[in-house]
Amino acid sequence: MDLDAPEGLLEVARRLEERGHEAWAVGGAVRDELAGHHRADWDLATNARPREVRSLFRRTVPIGIEHGTMGVIASDGVMYEVTTFRRDVETDGRHAVIEFADSLEEDLARRDFTINTLAWRPATGELRDPYGGREDLDRHLLRAVEDPARRFAEDYLRVLRGLRFAGRFRLDIEPETGRALAEAVPGTRELSAERVREELLKIMGGPAPSAALHLYRQHGILAMWYPELAEAAVEDPRWELDLGAVDALPATRARLRVARLLLAVGEDPEARNARARAVLERLKFSNADTDRIAHLLRAYEPVPAPTDSDAQVREWIAEVGREAVRDVLRLHAATARSAGATEGQRYLVFLWRRVHAQLLSHAPLTRAELAVDGNDLLALGVAQGPGMGVLLDELHATVIEDPSLNVRESLLDLAMEYAEMGGLLAGAPPEEGRA
Ligand code: ATP
Ligand code: MG
């Protein structure tokens, strides 16, 4: 059989086969291809040992030598993972100790679900399918490889993976697999937060995360790992709306989808932000991701109203930040779309036009874009200290109100006036309150 694999992968496979090794495309790419979804990231399994793999290619990256994985960069510039056949020696629900194996069969036997055990050999076109994965894929069935209870106990992440695949491909869970999965749910408590987080991000990177998130709820994964969301899921029409909004955002924006999902954890902004942060910290999101997502949640409301002036729109952009405004509006658009609120969608397009016009106008929006800075003010004789910040804030507010004033000369004049009035010049007695 012929699969539509990328040229680079075929080239890597050819080279391995020329040297007398077997090269099999395995895993998600074969599964997705047979399900009709083309992918760029194909993986190979081989009986060649990592050292041999390394010696056969000009450009290799040791991705996980201890797991037998070498990255090979093909002439299309893409890196393909080439992994030596493996078997499990010992598993404890969280990690596996592996050793290299000689046959594809052993390698496939340690995989989780039948749909993930398909292997295709480019050299001959043979499809190896020892567990009937193709039929399960066609019949939309999630089935564990061999003994389901043992499979889950070996690695509890398979519970989450199974729900992800079931959601992604709309699979029914085969009854025995379903029973074992339900019994294994408490075991997911032992997983590292990082693996649970990566699973969430993979769900968010798929076409419609809502399907897997529904399954997370049904199977108690929300209650265990995301109690804040489990609580939100009880309020029905609202929860469906939130999930619809997550789906409405692009799959390439997994973290933006996480932000939209976290808007579900409360109505009151303060409480919501604290609960959302708790989720992000529990899952050990990086500080950068946590800050970015928390910022979007804080900035979510309010957005400018139809009656607001251009100056108020600029003020809003300055507060939210140039980079984040688009995403805040995307969050709102997703909500409106999920609610079928055409008026709301129309307003957001209108608001986006206003915001866009301001972004393009080169109007100064942040303090850094002011035509004067603290040094200029020092040179004018303004005293160091909090008064300096107050003065910069006032100048900032002034140019947001009227961008044409953001010219060095006129701003310096204004600064001088403000400073005199506010008693902010060095030597003048400090005054209470704002200038
Ligand atoms: P995707 O890339 O869409 O997340 P995938 O199936 O490719 O799905 P990977 O994590 O990339 O998932 O793993 C590739 C293959 O390795 C899987 O198809 C499966 O055969 C096997 N595999 C991965 N993780 C596990 C696991 N925890 N237990 C058993 N087999 C696994
Ligand atoms: Mg993969």
196-245 tens-digit pLDDT: 999 999 999 999 999 999 999 999 999 999 999 999 999 888 999 999 99
Residue 28 alpha carbon to ligand 1 centre in Å: 6
Higher pLDDT, 365 or 308: 308
pLDDT higher than threshold 90 for residue 427: no
Q: Which atom of ligand 1 is nearest to the CA of 28?
A: 7
pLDDT higher than threshold 60 for residue 310: yes
What pLDDT shows up at residue 428?
52
Mutate to test the pocket of ligand 1, among 116, 151, 195, 203 (most ligand atoms within 8 A of CB): 116
Cα–Cα distance for residue pair 101/87, rounded to 1 Å: 6
Element (H, E) at 44: strand 43-46
pLDDT higher than threshold 90 for residue 318: yes
Label residue 366 by pLDDT band (50, 70, 90). Answer: confident
3-state class percentages of the chain: helix first, strand second, coil last, to nearest 5: 60, 10, 30
In tens, the pLDDT along 160-200 reads: 999 999 999 999 999 999 999 999 999 999 999 999 999 99
Could you give the count of Cα atoms lying within 13 Å of 409 in the half-sphere of its Cβ? 0
What pLDDT shows up at residue 432?
54
Residue 327 alpha carbon to ligand 2 centre in Å: 28
What pLDDT shows up at residue 335?
96
What pLDDT shows up at residue 435?
46
Q: Which residues surround ligand 1 with Cβ inside 6 Å?
A: 27-28, 111-112, 116, 155, 157-158, 202
Q: Please report which residue ranges of 306-429 form alpha helices under DSSP H.
A: 310-320, 322-339, 342-360, 374-380, 386-401, 408-422
Cβ–Cβ < 8 Å for 222, 216 = yes
In tens, the pLDDT along 332-364 reads: 999 999 999 999 999 999 999 999 999 998 888
pLDDT higher than threshold 90 for residue 425: no
What pLDDT shows up at residue 62?
94
Averaged over 294-315, what is the pLDDT? 96
CB under 8 A, 24+ apart: contacts of 65-70: 67/98, 68/98, 68/100
Averaged over 81-91, what is the pLDDT? 96
Label residue 383 by pLDDT band (50, 70, 90). Answer: confident
Averaged over 390-412, what is the pLDDT? 92
pLDDT higher than threshold 80 for residue 430: no
Residue 379 alpha carbon to ligand 1 centre in Å: 63
What pLDDT shows up at residue 433?
52
Beta bridge partners, 24, equal 45
Q: How many CB atoms lie within 10 A of CB 288?
A: 8
In tens, the pLDDT along 116-155 reads: 999 999 999 999 999 999 999 999 999 999 999 999 999 9
Residue 421 alpha carbon to ligand 2 centre in Å: 65
What pLDDT shows up at residue 305?
96
Helix then strand count (H, E) for the chain reads 22, 11
